[in-house]
Amino acid sequence: MPIFEFKCKKCKTVFEELIFSAADEKKTVCPKCGSKKSDKLMSVFAGSKSGCSSCSSTSCSTS
């Protein structure tokens, strides 16, 4: 489902909204202060790298 992050222009709260259309985006309301003015944030994509479960982010005991 298309979930987007927004940042309220008034109180700077970051929140998520489920958006299906441009009309839905215009209806976003800050859950903290109720402001209708917000900016859509750029999405950050999560990635993964291969490794075993015993590996830490800095070393691998199986190498």
The tokens for 7 are 């940042």
pTM of the shown model: 0.64
Long-range pairs of 43-49 with CB within 8 A, sequence gap ≥ 24 = 43/4, 43/5
pLDDT at residue 2, rounded to an integer: 85
The residues spanned by each domain of the chain are 3-40
The H or E element that residue 24 is part of is helix 22-26
The whole-angstrom separation of Cα 49 and Cα 60 is 13
pLDDT tens over the chain, length 63 residues:
689 999 999 999 999 999 999 899 899 999 999 999 999 998 766 555 555 665 555 666 655
pLDDT at residue 35, rounded to an integer: 98
Q: Which of 47, 63, 46 is nearest to 55 (CA)?
A: 63
